[in-house]
């Protein structure tokens, strides 16, 4: 089951089905999927919280008297500065994300092959 988007992280939580007669390999795969989901949730909640906080501060400091919003061009200064300041965090996130996904992919393939060839643990 997939839930609604989180208001801060914008990620949808997934509830992973626990199969009847789940093998230890299937359990390991299911649990790791949940851990990776939680890791993503934490990263994007922190990242987006910083983004919203810094954007509000930028608007407070740069919004001219009588205006209710800045143009896209005016906001692009903030967006570029925010991305430049957080590029290392994104780089580290992407590296770790690829590692986690490769591990999940290997586990998923093992589970599928064991089911396909009816290999028992």
pLDDT per residue over 28-84, tens digit each?
999 999 999 999 999 999 999 999 999 999 999 999 888 889 999 999 999 999 999
- The reported pLDDT for the residue numbered 19 is 87
pTM of the model: 0.87
- The reported pLDDT for the residue numbered 78 is 97
Nearest-angstrom CA–CA distance, 24 and 2: 24
- The reported pLDDT for the residue numbered 96 is 98
Distances (CA, A) of 72 to 43, 61, 76: 26, 16, 6
Task: Render 60-72 in DSSP notation, one character per residue.
Answer: HHHPPTT-S---H
pLDDT per residue over 90-119, tens digit each?
999 999 999 999 999 999 999 999 988 887
| Domain coordinates in residue numbering, the chain | 2-116
- The reported pLDDT for the residue numbered 121 is 65
Nearest-angstrom CA–CA distance, 63 and 76: 14
Instruction: Return all residues near 97 (Cβ < 8 A) that are at least 6 apart.
Output: 40
Cβ-count burial 48-87 (b if 16+ within 10 Å, e if not): beebeeeeeebbeeeeeeeeeebeeeeeeebeeebeeeee
Tell me if 47 sits within 8 A of 89, measured CB to CB.
yes
């Amino acid at each position: 089951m997939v839930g609604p988007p989180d208001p801060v992280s914008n990620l949808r939580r997934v509830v992973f089905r626990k199969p009847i007669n789940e093998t230890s390999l299937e359990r390991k795969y299911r649990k790791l999927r949940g851990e990776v989901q939680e890791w993503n949730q934490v990263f994007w909640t922190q990242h987006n919280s910083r983004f919203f906080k810094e954007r509000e501060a930028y608007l407070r400091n740069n919004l001219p008297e009588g205006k209710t919003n800045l143009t896209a061009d005016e906001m692009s200064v903030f967006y570029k500065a925010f991305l430049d300041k957080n590029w290392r965090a994104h780089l580290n996130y992407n590296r770790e994300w690829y590692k986690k996904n490769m591990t999940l992919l290997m586990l998923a393939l093992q589970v599928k092959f064991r089911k396909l060839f009816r290999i028992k643990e």
